[in-house]
Amino acid sequence: TIPEGRTLEEIAKRVEEKTPYSAKEFMDLVTNPEFIDQMIAKYPDLLTEEIKGENLRYDLEGYLFPATYSYYEEKPALESIVDEMLKTTAKNITPYMETLVQEEKSVHWLLTFASLLEEEATADTDRATIASVFINRMKEDMPLHTDPTVLYALGEHKDRVLYDDLEIDHPYNTYKIQGLPPGPISNSGSSSLDAVLNPSN
């Protein structure tokens, strides 16, 4: 089971706990350019050239869907496990494709925005409100000022973000950059995806 709001590195640890593969084997696969190109060819609507942006930490960050994956064999191929997670993401974003086309937004934009809500929200009710706040800030050209992006930039989990942390010069730090970071900071569940396209007023 992969919960919501998990980074690729956290998913790697989960895979290590529950399968015969190590976290390193998982990370080696999901950062392998050849494997990524195969997945882009297989899921062209999901994985676009945007996942190869220069400031991204990992191409597939945010693209492995939070869900329970059942296997009935001793050692399923690691490629098939990752493939299954991508297929589940593709299936879960299909209902939003029409709206994304209408609004001229990309899947990458949706998953990036949704990951911020996933990390900021404490309950389902918060998500649509937070989405609205972020949209309003972007309209006003204000920075988003969301602490989870600072933690992602720092590459560590902290209980409290300090003023010094906000000063980190990093492409993911939304205290320093305008708009969304270059890519997702974690995976997102359906309620966060929903909130991005159905924000509160």
Position 165 scores a pLDDT of 83
2 and 186 Cβ atoms separated by less than 8 Å: no
- Three-state DSSP string of the chain: CCCCCCCHHHHHHHHHHHCCCCHHHHHHHHCCHHHHHHHHHHCCCCCCHHHHCCCCCCCCCCCCCCCCCCCCCCCCCHHHHHHHHHHHHHHHHHHHHHHHHHCCCCHHHHHHHHHHHHHHCCCHHHHHHHHHHHHHHHHCCCCCCCHHHHHHHHCCCCCCCCHHHHCCCCCCCCCCCCCCCCCCCCCCCHHHHHHHHCCCC
pLDDT in tens, 111-145: 999 999 999 997 777 899 999 999 999 999 999 99
- The lowest-confidence range among 137-146, 152-161, 192-201 is 152-161
pTM of the model: 0.95
pLDDT in tens, 9-18: 999 999 999 9
Query: Mean pLDDT across the chain, nearest whole number?
Result: 94
pLDDT in tens, 34-66: 999 999 999 999 999 999 998 999 999 999 999
